[in-house]
Amino acid sequence: MSSTFVGMPAFPEAARAAVDDPTLRGNLRHATHTIRAKRAAAVAELADWGGLREAGRRIKDHTLRHLDRYLERLEASVTAAGGTVHWAADADEANRIVAELVKETGESEVVKVKSMATQEIGLNEALEAEGIRAYETDLAELIVQLGKDRPSHILVPAIHRNRGEIRDIFTHEMAAWGRPAPGDLTDTPADLAEAARLHLREKFLRARVGVSGANFMVAETGTLVVVESEGNGRMCLTLPETLISVVGIEKIVPTWRDLEVFLQTLPRSSTAERMNPYTSMWTGTTDEDGPRAFHLVLLDNGRTDALADQVGRQALRCIRCSACLNVCPVYERAGGHAYGSVYPGPIGAILTPQLRGTASEIDASLPYASSLCGACYEVCPVAIDIPEVLVHLRERVVEGGPAVRRGNKVVLRPARGHAAERAAMRAAAWAFGHPGALRTGQRLASRSRRLHPRTLPGPGRAWSGTRDLPTLPPEPFRDWWQRTRGGKDAK
Amino acid sequence: MNSRERILGRVRRALADVPPDERPYAEAVARDYLREHGKRTVEETVDLLAENLADYRAVVHRTGARDLPDLIAGLLAARGSREVLVPPGLPPQWLAATNLERIEDRPGDTPQRLDRVGSVVTGCAVAIAETGTLVLDGSPGQGRRRISLIPDHHICVVRVPAQVVASVPQALERLAPTHPLTWISGPSATSDIELDRVEGVHGPRTLEVILLDD
């Protein structure tokens, strides 16, 4: 994934700074609570929400279970419609393909529609290294790019910034990228949006190459779908002569009809609208309407490794609506940056360690960035059981075991830093298998309860630093049961 | 081995647990969701379209064929545009009452040229009542995708009830994927700054919809 995140500290460490930042917490709380309430209302309008959710789950599951067939079908459809299909096994290959395609046009700048896949592969940085400047055109992505910042939310990447911060970024940074911000720029959202409109319009009108992702690809017809609000997507998808779309291989649906499910569930789950303002659909190229050349780059970059995991593969059903972020008590407090990945929140906590593996400290910590409360599963419009995958990945982090990395079967060793947890679990397993020892231990613990420390020593210190240790009862349950026969004999 | 073969090979190895005789697609996906939400008369469906368009800050007008040219002329005059962009197949009588200069949608025109045009008038392929959505499919009365994008003022005429459907599933049935499609629900909007909705970032900031009684 993006090199931007290399060297990120593990989640608990990164989250501490976020939790201590009252502005950030205020911005996040306002945003997540607002969108959460709106979403519930938008979903309540559809009496068949449960049926749509189940259909979405089954369409995506079926597609993933026969992905090879649908990829070949899609390639044939796109090619027949006048597009060119490229295959990229990893981020480097995808970046190389895009850079080559841009160079072939003779251009040195591109306009971009917001795209999780191109963030994931660090495309902007890779193009910069090749002398190509990529302009983000989504308002929030523009704020992030001008602020030399990182996105913190899948849908509203600048959610961590308030209007005053955005005005300062526009005032100080716009001139270096093109048309400067007006001198008397206020911090009202309408004025800020107008400044972005003027700044970006000159880029749209002269752009000859556009780069996008896609929300859906229809195998049957070769149609690509981009869902957006501002019109920057329409600008990038229709004005340039060349369009390059970088799309993860999991974004396929089999048939045209399948869009009827996702075009109902995605807008209501993401922006809490009946429908987003703009949706563009294109199939290859069309004479004199839109780009004359269309390139589709199909991206693996760890997706086939996730596919090989029978529990974890359900994460590939994700349609990137971000509903799970907005209900997550951990995301709300820790913010998007602490996850150290372009996919933050609950979905990021299961998707990222599968795409990148669990070798690094940050990736090994992500399955723990959750309270397992289950709210993310409840709101997911394709019913991804995020808690199930989190527990599965925790087991992998602690115990190691078989997995697939870059297409090869490997046996993972337990992640570093989890020795104490593993030792504790082994000790617990032994004690539960030896009733005599368990009884003795429990009695000993009860009788010495006045002497127990309030915090744990050694490796347990970090755990007890943020939690109260449970107090032990004066006698173990089993002794109480024997003494009173379950409360029948009075005390 | 090229990347295509490498990725397809990885996919096939990853799916070794999937039985070869698994249920086919048609059986795997139950379609027990609704084709339409609620029971409405045709008139009620058109009313719902008007209501949902307005809820997303489109300006909605209703008229008959006789008064349409005057209505369009009035809207263009109120806007103060000097030129109006027109797709090649727009019925000529729609613009019979305006003397604004007409700019034909020609492939040779640069985006910069179109950016100087204030208003555009188009038809549509279908309109969806439950979501307040207009769909344009590039047919002659609608023109290229860019003409409904660059001018700041878009007037879209919907023939009612012929072009109105209740729901997203009903709309998809009517559309051809081979056409480039643009779905429009209200004017361009963003909620990126503190989730405050602001109309008009890059697309038209004013969307006027005329429901034309056939």
- The mean pLDDT value for A291-306 works out to 98
Please give the pLDDT value at position A2. Answer: 43
Higher pLDDT: A41 or B200? It is: A41
- The mean pLDDT value for A259-270 works out to 98
The answer to whether the Cβ–Cβ distance between A277 and B56 falls below 8 Å is: yes
Q: Which residues pair with A110 in a beta bridge?
A: A134
Distances (CA, A) of A30 to A34, A189, A324, A335: 6, 16, 16, 12
Strand, coil or helix: A173:
helix
Please identify among residues 60-89 of chain A the ones whose CB lies closer than 8 Å to any CB of chain B: 61-62, 65-68, 71-72, 81, 87-89
Closest CA to B120 of B96, B87, B91: B87
Q: Mean pLDDT lowest for which of A7-11, A224-228, A323-327, A368-372?
A: A7-11
For A121-157, how does the pLDDT look when each residue is reduced to its tens digit (9 = 90+)? 999 999 999 999 999 999 999 999 999 999 999 999 9
Q: What are phi and psi of A407, to 5 degrees?
A: 85, -5
Nearest to B28 among A62, A232, A238 (CB): A62
The answer to whether the Cβ–Cβ distance between A290 and B144 falls below 8 Å is: yes
- The mean pLDDT value for B42-67 works out to 97
Please give the pLDDT value at position A490. Answer: 60
Please, which pLDDT band fits residue B57 given cuts at 50, 70 and 90? very high
Please, which pLDDT band fits residue A415 given cuts at 50, 70 and 90? confident
Q: What is the DSSP letter of A82?
A: T
Q: Mean pLDDT lowest for which of A247-256, A472-481, B111-120, B204-213?
A: A472-481
Please give the pLDDT value at position A1. Answer: 44
Residue listed under structure tokens 């609506």 = A321
Q: How far is B172 from chain A (nearest CA, A)?
A: 7
ipTM over 0.95: yes
- The mean pLDDT value for A289-306 works out to 98
Interface test with A, best of B109, B122, B190 (most A CBs within 10 A): B190
End-to-end Cα separation, chain A, in angstroms: 62
Sheet holding B181-184, edge to edge: A252-253, A216-218, A223-228, A278-283, B181-184, B133-136, B126-128, B164-165
Question: What residue of B is the nearest CA neighbor of A47?
Answer: B37
Please give the pLDDT value at position B192. Answer: 86
Q: What is the mean pLDDT of chain A?
A: 93
For A172-204, how does the pLDDT look when each residue is reduced to its tens digit (9 = 90+)? 999 999 999 999 999 999 999 999 999 999 999
Please give the pLDDT value at position B130. Answer: 98
Whether residue B192 contacts residue A140, with contact meaning beta carbons closer than 8 Å, is answered with yes
Share of chain B above pLDDT 90, in %: 86
Please, which pLDDT band fits residue A405 given cuts at 50, 70 and 90? very high
Distance (Å, whole) CA B13 – CA B6: 11
Whether residue B172 contacts residue A259, with contact meaning beta carbons closer than 8 Å, is answered with yes
Residue A302 clears pLDDT 60, i.e. is over it: yes
- The mean pLDDT value for A157-176 works out to 95
Residue A439 clears pLDDT 90, i.e. is over it: no
Q: How far is B194 from chain A (nearest CA, A)?
A: 6
Please give the pLDDT value at position A451. Answer: 82
Nearest to B192 among A61, A93, A140 (CB): A140
Please give the pLDDT value at position A465. Answer: 75
Residue A3 clears pLDDT 50, i.e. is over it: no
Please, which pLDDT band fits residue A491 given cuts at 50, 70 and 90? low
Q: What is the mean pLDDT of chain B?
A: 95
Distance (Å, whole) CA A229 – CA A215: 13
Please, which pLDDT band fits residue A472 given cuts at 50, 70 and 90? confident
Residue A358 clears pLDDT 50, i.e. is over it: yes
